[in-house]
Amino acid sequence: QVQLVESGGGLVQAGGSLRLSCAASGGTNDRRTMAWFRQAPGKEREFVAAITWIGGRTYYADSVKGRFTISRDNAKNTLYLQMNSLKPEDTAVYYCAQRPFSFTFYTGERDYSYWGQGTQVTVSS
């Protein structure tokens, strides 16, 4: 069974940077797409970015385009999210998720089968 474990969250000032990691284990294969979502207090979970494990094609939400970079390390079976120029509105619990590979990028929470437990990111103004 696939297990996803996030790390790297914390408290940072506006304009700062953080890098999140998501270690995958248990039954993973390369024919998958992985993504980051986030959920702020009182709001629905929203899509942040996704990447295909084969080929490394990426897709971003408009709200983070140009500031966040999603990447993966095949050898370490780990997903990353480099977050730069952070804003207070980026404050949320960040989750990594996985779904089978598809040529279309899906941005809905229900489109992903496996989820990590989340890591808190807090951006102070």
Task: Name the band, by pLDDT with cuts 50, 70 and 90, for residue 3.
Answer: very high
Query: Cα separation of 91 and 85, whole Å?
Result: 12
For 99-125, write each residue's pLDDT tens digit: 999 999 999 999 999 999 999 999 999
Res 29: pLDDT: 82
Q: Which residue has the tokens 């951006």?
A: 123
Q: Is the pLDDT assigned to residue 26 strictly greater than 90?
A: no
Pairing of strands 119-124, 58-60: unpaired
Query: Can you give the three-state secondary structure of 27-53, one letter per residue?
Result: CCCCCEEEEEEEECCCCCCEEEEEEEC
For 42-76, write each residue's pLDDT tens digit: 999 999 999 999 999 999 999 999 999 999 999 99
- Cβ pair 50, 107 in contact under 8 A: yes
Please give the structure tokens belonging to residue 49: 């970015």
Question: For the purposes of burial, counting CB atoms within 10 Å of the CB of 27, is it exposed (0-12), middle (13-18) or buried (19 or more)?
Answer: exposed
- Cβ pair 79, 51 in contact under 8 A: yes
